[in-house]
């Protein structure tokens, strides 16, 4: 599907300039709560912050902020600003669990009906109270055809105001992920938004929200200045002003952090190999990584030759040298994937991290990297003499994709699989995977739409105008249906295992590796809450968690 091709991996142009500078010691991450193969923790524990009030925190992000309108923004850099000033009705906490935000309570009445009661103490920055009308309008707007996020809300039918503080959401079909998707529907004021019209979310039009910080000024190219909102319903943040500065070059971002021109930065693991993370750390700077959910995988159109042949797909899976790929792209901060799911997607359903590891270890194994096995599979296929194919990569936007494909291509040549790695522009790459142009083989990356075991998978299997894998079997459809309506965690886990096992056996998608999430900050500050995939800087109300270090 093209939507997965244009992944978060492309949130910014790649930086190829490296100047060895600063300390090269291992980043001073806290002790891991749980360690995967790389030692990257599932969560980084909250730092000890003080209650001291400070004037200013300056935070750097890589890539511009095209708009602060949530309905027209998909860039990670834009979401970092939006998540600081606008709030959803429900949010995901650090452990991947749902909890109320602007909602006082929510109840899944039946598989397609959700009742929500909003808080009574929330006001917009102009002092007017939050109403159910504003909440319903924000959801409808986010799910409407004019929204770039509409595709995420495929299960959404309507949001109906049922009282001053209550609304009812109706779904077209049961969806386990919908409440998580609802976390994206941050609330804006209806009257302000309608009055701003097309200019809503632009530097001139601005936005009107309820967050702990209000938008004071904003420019797509330079960033945003946020000022503490004194009427905020929750805990007031430490800094009076929070400035988010846009950088276009990762090395400039790193140097600004090390010289103290900025206080912290979201690491750009998607454009800089995490292997270079050590150069970000230093005596004044802490670098921390937690396990991420950004997945890299090969996708095949299982209706197109030669990938309609399971032996070909198995041969291809056997030439993927995950360890080799991670070595050149992620260094010590990478982990191979064993299925299209990851531990952070299970934490809301399974308490014990060891149990999560056991579930993932119990799934049907992927074919290991084995060139002899690849040759044997190919010999059994309809293409015993090998085959040729082409994979396009947006090299300039993400050179890491080229690196990954080159490693796979090199191994393929050993067994007769000739993969041409064609470098194209971002625009040309975006054009592939559209209806009628489904590429037979492609390298992709994406983040999950929900903190659920199949949060990374369902969007790849859901019918759409540009469905990549064209993989559709009665057994997987049955397992997905079961998963969507399951009521207990055991049923959810069992259904998810069935889906993942079939994917690992039939291989329409070949998981490769996971992108972990990094951030860096000067030691005068801490992130005063657990930091994991769901609460990294850039997620809901993250700026309020940046506090002066205690002592």
Partner 1 sequence: MKIAVWLGRRLIAIVLQLLIISFLTFSLLFLMPGSPEQILIGPNPATAEQLESIRERYGLNEPFLAQYADWLGAAVHLDFGTSIANGEEVSSLLIERSGVTVSLAIYAIVLLLLLAVPLGLVAGARAGGTADRVISAVTTMLVSAPAFATGLLLLYVFGVVLRWFPIFGFGSGFTDVVWHLTLPAATLAIAVIALIVRQTRAVAATIVRSDYVLFGRARGVAPWTIWTRYLLRGSSMPLVTSMGLVLGFFLTGTVVVERLFSIPGLGSLLINAVSTKDLPVVQGATILVSFFVLLANLLADASHLAVDPRVRKAVLA
CA distance linking residue 532 with residue 332, whole number of Å? 18
Q: Which is nearer to partner 1, 258 or 533 (CB)?
A: 258
Q: Is the bond preceding 93 in cis, omega lying within 30 degrees of 0?
A: no
Shortest Å, Cβ 24 to partner 1: 15
CA 377 from centre of chain: 34
- Residue 122 structure tokens: 């929330």
Distance (Å, rounded) from C-alpha 315 to C-alpha 418? 12
By beta-carbon proximity to partner 1, the closer residue of 259 and 388 is 259
Instruction: Residue 527: name the closest of 508, 542, 510 by CA.
Output: 542
Question: Two tokens at 499?
Answer: 């889906």
Return the exposure string of 332-353: e unless at least 16 CB atoms fall within 10 Å of the residue's CB, then b.
Answer: bbbbbbbbbbbbbbbbbbbeeb
Pairing of the two strands 223-228 and 54-62:
unpaired
- Contacts to partner 1 by CB under 8 A: 1-4, 6-8, 13, 17, 19, 21, 64, 66-67, 69, 72, 74-75, 145-152, 154, 198-205, 219-222, 245-249, 251-252, 255-256, 258-259, 261, 397, 424-431, 434, 446-447, 449, 459, 462, 464-466
Min dist CB 525 to partner 1, Å, is 19
Nearer to partner 1, 1 or 496 (CB): 1
User: Least separation, in Å, of the C-beta of 331 and partner 1?
Assistant: 22
Closer residue to partner 1, CB minimum distance, 76 or 118: 76
How far apart, in whole angstroms, are the C-alpha atoms of residue 476 and residue 463?
A: 13
CB of 281 to partner 1, least distance (A): 15
Which residue from 74, 9, 96 is spatially nearest to 446, judged by alpha carbons? 9
CB of 127 to partner 1, least distance (A): 26
DSSP label at 508? S
- Please state the closest distance from residue 80 (CB atom) to partner 1, in A: 15
CB atoms within 10 A of CB 368: 11
Smallest gap from Cβ 246 to partner 1, in A, equals 6
d(CA 467, CA 461): 7
Cβ 411 to partner 1 shortest distance, Å: 28
CA distance 173 to 168: 15
| d(C-alpha 538, C-alpha 543), whole Å | 8
Q: Among residues 76 and 528, whose Cβ is nearest to partner 1? A: 76
If one counts every other C-beta atom within 10 angstroms of the C-beta of residue 120, the result is: 11
Shortest approach of partner 1 to residue 62 CB, angstroms? Answer: 10
Comparison of 259 and 390: residue with beta carbon closer to partner 1: 259
What is d(CA 165, CA 405) in angstroms, rounded to the nearest whole number?
52
Judged by beta carbon, residue 130 or residue 185, the one nearer partner 1 is 185
Contact yes or no for 168/160 (Cβ under 8 A): yes
Best CA proximity match to 141, nearest among 105, 179, 190, 180: 190
Minimum distance between the CB of residue 419 and partner 1, rounded to whole angstroms?
Answer: 21
Closest by CA position to 245, among listed 257, 237, 230: 257
Cβ-based nearer residue to partner 1, 53 or 248? 248
Nearer to partner 1, 45 or 220 (CB): 220
Instruction: Between 238 and 341, name the residue whose CB sits nearer to partner 1.
Output: 341
Identify which of residues 261 and 372 has a Cβ nearer to partner 1 in the complex.
261
Q: For 304, phi and psi rounded to 5 degrees? A: -105, 140
CB atoms within 10 A of CB 262: 23
**Pair type for strands 239-247 and 54-62:** parallel
State the nearest-atom distance from the C-beta of 49 to partner 1, in Å: 27
Which pairing describes strands 417-423 and 387-393: parallel, antiparallel, or unpaired?
parallel
């Amino acid at each position: 599907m093209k939507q997965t091709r244009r992944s978060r991996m492309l949130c910014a142009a790649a930086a190829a300039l490296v100047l060895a500078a600063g300390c090269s010691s291992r980043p001073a991450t806290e002790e891991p709560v749980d360690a995967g193969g790389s030692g990257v923790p599932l969560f980084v524990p909250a730092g000890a912050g003080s209650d001291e009030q400070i004037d200013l925190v300056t935070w750097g992000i890589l890539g511009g902020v095209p708009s602060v309108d949530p309905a027209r923004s998909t860039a990670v850099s834009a979401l970092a600003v939006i998540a600081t000033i606008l709030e959803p009705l429900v949010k995901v906490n650090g452990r991947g669990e749902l909890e109320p935000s602007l909602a006082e309570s929510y109840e899944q009445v039946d598989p397609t009906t959700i009742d929500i009661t909003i808080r009574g103490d929330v006001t917009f920055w102009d002092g007017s109270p939050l109403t159910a009308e504003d909440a319903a309008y924000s959801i409808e707007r986010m799910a409407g055809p004019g929204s770039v996020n509409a595709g995420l809300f495929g299960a959404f039918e309507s949001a109906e105001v049922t009282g001053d503080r209550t609304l009812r959401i109706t779904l077209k079909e049961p969806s386990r992920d919908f409440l998580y998707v609802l976390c994206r529907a941050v609330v804006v004021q209806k009257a302000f938004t309608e009055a701003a019209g097309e200019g809503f979310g632009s530097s001139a039009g601005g936005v009107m929200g309820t967050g702990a910080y209000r938008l004071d000024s904003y420019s797509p190219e330079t960033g945003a200045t946020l000022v503490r909102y004194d009427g905020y319903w929750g805990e007031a943040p430490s800094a009076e002003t929070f400035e988010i500065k846009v950088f276009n070059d990762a090395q400039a971002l790193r140097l600004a952090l090390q010289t103290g021109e900025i206080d912290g930065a979201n690491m750009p693991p998607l454009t800089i190999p995490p292997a270079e993370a050590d150069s970000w750390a230093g005596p004044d700077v802490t670098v921390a990584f937690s396990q991420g959910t950004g997945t890299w995988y090969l996708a095949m159109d299982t209706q197109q030759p030669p990938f309609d042949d399971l032996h070909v797909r198995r041969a291809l899976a056997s030439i993927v040298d995950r360890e080799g790929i991670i070595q050149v792209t992620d260094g010590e901060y990478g982990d191979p994937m064993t299925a299209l799911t990851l531990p952070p997607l299970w934490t809301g359903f399974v308490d014990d991290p060891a149990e999560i590891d056991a579930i993932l270890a119990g799934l049907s194994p992927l074919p290991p990297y084995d060139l002899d096995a690849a040759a044997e599979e190919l010999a059994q296929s309809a293409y015993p003499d090998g085959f040729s194919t082409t994979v396009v990569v947006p090299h300039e936007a993400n050179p890491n994709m080229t690196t990954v494909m080159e490693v796979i291509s090199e191994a393929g040549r050993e067994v007769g699989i000739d993969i041409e790695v064609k470098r194209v522009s971002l625009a040309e790459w975006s054009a592939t995977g559209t209806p009628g142009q489904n590429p037979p083989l492609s390298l992709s990356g994406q983040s999950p739409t929900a903190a659920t075991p199949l949060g990374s998978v369902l969007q790849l299997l859901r019918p759409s105008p540009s469905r990549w894998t064209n993989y559709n079997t009665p057994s997987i459809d049955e397992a997905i249906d079961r998963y969507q309506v399951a009521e207990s965690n055991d049923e959810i886990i069992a259904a998810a295992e069935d889906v993942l096992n079939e994917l690992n056996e039939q291989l329409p998608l070949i998981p490769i590796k996971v992108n972990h999430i990094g951030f860096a900050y000067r030691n005068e500050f801490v992130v005063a809450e657990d930091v994991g995939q769901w609460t990294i800087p850039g997620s809901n109300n993250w700026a309020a968690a940046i506090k002066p270090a205690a002592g």
